[in-house]
A and B are shown apart, each in its own frame.
Chain A
Amino acid sequence: MSHVAQGRGKGGFITAFLFAPLALYLTFVIWPYVQTFGYSFTNWTGQSPTFDFVGLENYSTLLKDDDFRGALGHNLLLLVFVPVVTILLALFFAFMVNAGGRSGAGGVQGVSGSRIYKIVYFFPQVLSLAILAVLFGAIYRSDEGGLLNGFLIKLGLIDPKHPVEWLNEPNFVLWCLLLVVVWHGVGFYLVLFSAAMQSVPKDIYEAALLDGAGRAQTFFKVTLPLLWDSVQTSAVYLGIAAMDMFVLVSTMTSGQFGGGPDHHSEVMSTVLMRNFLYFGKSGYACAMGVVMLVLTMILSVITLRATRRERIEF
């Protein structure tokens, strides 16, 4: 067999393998986007194949929709807090677990028992969001049977006649949800950052130690800059999670597809689903979907640009 024939055969082989995924991607990812975009210009009810073209009406209604604007505000709030809180906690724990131990014999190590911590921290990641919703539903339960309320009542901090209705309190509900997301995410990012930290050569740390750097200095001057890549990627992923939030909000809060009390925990995806499946305004919901897509795209580009730094090679 000549070299040329062999090359062609290989090329065909590779093309064949690329074609199937590409076709699947086009059919199941790109085409739905296009369809959604198309539906966003119609008054489709979602339950019937017939609909009329209404132009930009859905988008102009959307601009005036208080529920959607409120939801957008909540998403933006989560967008700030979910990545920041999760990453800070994960970084702190990762540093403690990997390099925070007392430098006794001159080596760089984690605090004692760090192996166990790593495993324990990862536990929440194993649970699905649906299980989390049930678990935290029991914690936030609004009567004295709730874990949090029961605890606070035992401590005498709240009156058993007036337990805190955590998820039914406009001022608390978003923060309660935020806590769940952070609790769920920290373990995963801890492991991610740990892996990144472990790939940092030990001699860099040892050099820093020899120069008399403390824990804080080691962290800010050595660890963080070397981890910047991972932090950046984490921020994008967590940002996307904050833009979604559908599963938690829809199962844990009151209202059709969640969002209660009185729209105080509304996120864009819950408003979208309520309009899509419950109010029979699917065309309108598709317009929301398009807006969400655009916002998420803008968000990730901004995050990647804003966090751009000089690369450090080692």
Chain B
Amino acid sequence: MGSTGEGLGRRDLIKRSAALGLITVPTMSFLSACASGGEESTKGPDKGVVSKENPFGLAKGGKLDVVVFKGGFGDDYAKAWEAAFDKKWGTTTSHLATQEITAKLQPRFNGGNPPDVVDDSGAQKIPLDVLAKGGQLADLNAVLDAPSLDDPTKKVRDTLVDGAVEQGMQGGKYLVLKYVYAVFGFWYSGKLFKEKGWAAPKTWDEFLAVCTKAKEAGIGGLAHQGKFPYYINVVIMDLIAKKGGLDAVKAIDNLAPNAFEGNAAALAAVEAVYEVVEKGLLMPGTNGLTHTDSQTAWNQYKAAFIPCGSWLENEQLKQTPEDFDMKFLPVPLLADSKMPLEAIRAGVDEPFIVPEKAANKAAGLEFLRSMLSREWSTIFAQQANSLTVVKDGVDPSVKLRPGTQSAVEALKGAGANTFTYRYPDWYSEMDTEIQNASNELMAQRIQPKEWIKRAQAAVNKAAQDPNAKNNKRS
């Protein structure tokens, strides 16, 4: 067997270390595959004439390179848009729909040849704060100030829902068009509640009471997407917001030294969520489930409530029984809350960006302007079952599904009482650390006080980020 010699021959050692090299390489070469290239992108196509109809000077007949995240919304909407765009401008569009945004695009950003429009979303999105810090995003103020396609006397800016522009800001500039308008809260089955004779709870005590009744009926009270603590954070953060008011929200986003520690609203919120755990009102096993597993269990009537954003209905289309009657519920109130029950977290999401170094930046900007027209907004509502940031942007003839319908009603009920958090976009590391703490809390491995301590530590750490001074909200 084999060669002879003392111990391991030199040749063998070399052979083996080469083999070893080949194995360790994947990590390393993966790193360097993303190595940065230095050159500037080559000049784009010829410029068109800038006019009111063509505010970015887009040349006819150029190329457009679109990359979209193919997640809960699919990519049919994007195909429909691209067809409309090509027809109007005579462009040739290349369309890539993927879930691996980072893997596909990071080398292109580094190489200086990014696409013209990107829907940077999903679990593998490129963090926006990082792109913004690197100067990779085109300033979208030009789009906001361009005339609206629906009414040229108005600027695009004036056709958007409140807060849409603010939430696209990174480091003080409008760099991200967050296109989908989503509301967050609890969801339940209208059918189940009707059968059992339960009413939608208004206060946290009533919420716990329904969960207790559910437990007695042999099903779980609250399900959550345990493998992704993002979702239970929605509940914790919304309780803080509603009890403490907008000031509490701003304190967290602005990294105040008392954002969590010494904030009575924060402690009360965490204790309220912990009560669900302590009383055994969680759906058994929910802490370890993925979002699809827990949402599907909820669709199978194994739990009364689940927290989620309004994309839930579209995401669960196939798993939802026909008569499920999905309903939205704003997070119930704690005692002495500063916001009314109807107040909801309403956020814009699904970030579309135009890279600063896009080959056809004008086309990218024009594409975004078109997205903010009523025509394209309706296409989105039809194809992706969701609302957009365009005010009244859906043609009334479109019939909505029950969940979306109830979300729209909740949004109307909320009126001006909507709020949102910015820290997950601004400080990805802080967000991750708070999520870890929430996971520990739900598994009963830490107590509310410890959660507060850890969350504050994450805030204090984020405050040391040199970029923190640019991310201020008032």
Q: Is the CB of A280 within 8 A of B130?
A: yes
Interface string of A159-198 (1 = CB under 8 A from B): 0111101111010000000000000000000000000100
Q: How far is the CA of A166 from the CA of B285 in the complex (A)?
A: 10
What are the residues of chain B within 8 A of A276 when measuring CB–CB?
31
Q: Is the CB of A28 within 8 A of B133?
A: no
What are the residues of chain A within 8 A of B435 when measuring CB–CB?
255
Q: How far is the CA of A262 from the CA of B127 in the complex (A)?
A: 21
Check if A29 is an interface residue, CB within 8 A of chain B. Answer: yes
Q: Is the CB of B288 within 8 A of A168?
A: yes
Interface residues of A in 277-314 (CB under 8 A from B): 277-280, 282, 285-286, 289, 292-293, 296-297, 300, 304, 308-309, 311, 313-314
Q: Which of B13, B106, B285 contacts A165 (CB 8 A)?
A: B285
User: Interface stretch among B61-69, B327-335, B439-447?
Assistant: B439-447
What are the residues of chain A within 8 A of B2 when measuring CB–CB?
229
Q: Is the CB of A32 within 8 A of B32?
A: yes
Interface string of A48-84 (1 = CB under 8 A from B): 1111000000000000000000000000000000000
Q: Is the CB of A236 within 8 A of B20?
A: yes
Q: How far is the CA of A233 from the CA of B15 in the complex (A)?
A: 11
Q: How far is the CA of A158 from the CA of B443 in the complex (A)?
A: 17
Q: What's the least CB distance linking B114 to chain A, in Å?
A: 10
Query: Do most interface residues of chain B lie in helix, strand or loop, or is the interface mixed?
Result: helix
Check if B229 is an interface residue, CB within 8 A of chain A. Answer: yes
Q: Is the CB of A142 within 8 A of B8?
A: no
Q: How far is the CA of A18 from the CA of B310 in the complex (A)?
A: 59
Check if B190 is an interface residue, CB within 8 A of chain A. Answer: no
Range, interface on chain B: 35 or more
Check if A45 is an interface residue, CB within 8 A of chain B. Answer: yes
Check if B24 is an interface residue, CB within 8 A of chain A. Answer: yes
What are the residues of chain A within 8 A of B129 when measuring CB–CB?
280
Q: Is the CB of A261 within 8 A of B439?
A: yes
Q: Is the CB of A45 within 8 A of B130?
A: yes
Q: How far is the CA of A46 from the CA of B16 in the complex (A)?
A: 32
Q: Is the CB of B134 within 8 A of A308?
A: no
Q: Which of A36, A143, A229 contacts B31 (CB 8 A)?
A: A36
Check if A254 is an interface residue, CB within 8 A of chain B. Answer: yes
Q: Contacts A143-B284, A166-B288: A308 and B7 contacting too (C-beta < 8 A)?
A: yes
Q: Is the CB of B1 within 8 A of A233?
A: no
Q: Is the CB of A39 within 8 A of B35?
A: yes
Check if A256 is an interface residue, CB within 8 A of chain B. Answer: yes
Interface residues of B in 294-320 (CB under 8 A from A): 297
Q: How far is the CA of A308 from the CA of B16 in the complex (A)?
A: 14
- Interface residues of A, Cβ cutoff 8 Å to B: 28-29, 31-33, 35-36, 39, 44-51, 140-146, 149, 160-163, 165-168, 170, 196, 199-200, 226, 229, 232-233, 236-237, 240, 244, 246, 254-256, 260-263, 269, 272, 274, 276-280, 282, 285-286, 289, 292-293, 296-297, 300, 304, 308-309, 311, 313-314
Could you list 6 examples of A-B contacts with CB < 8 Å? A35-B32, A142-B286, A233-B16, A240-B24, A293-B24, A296-B20
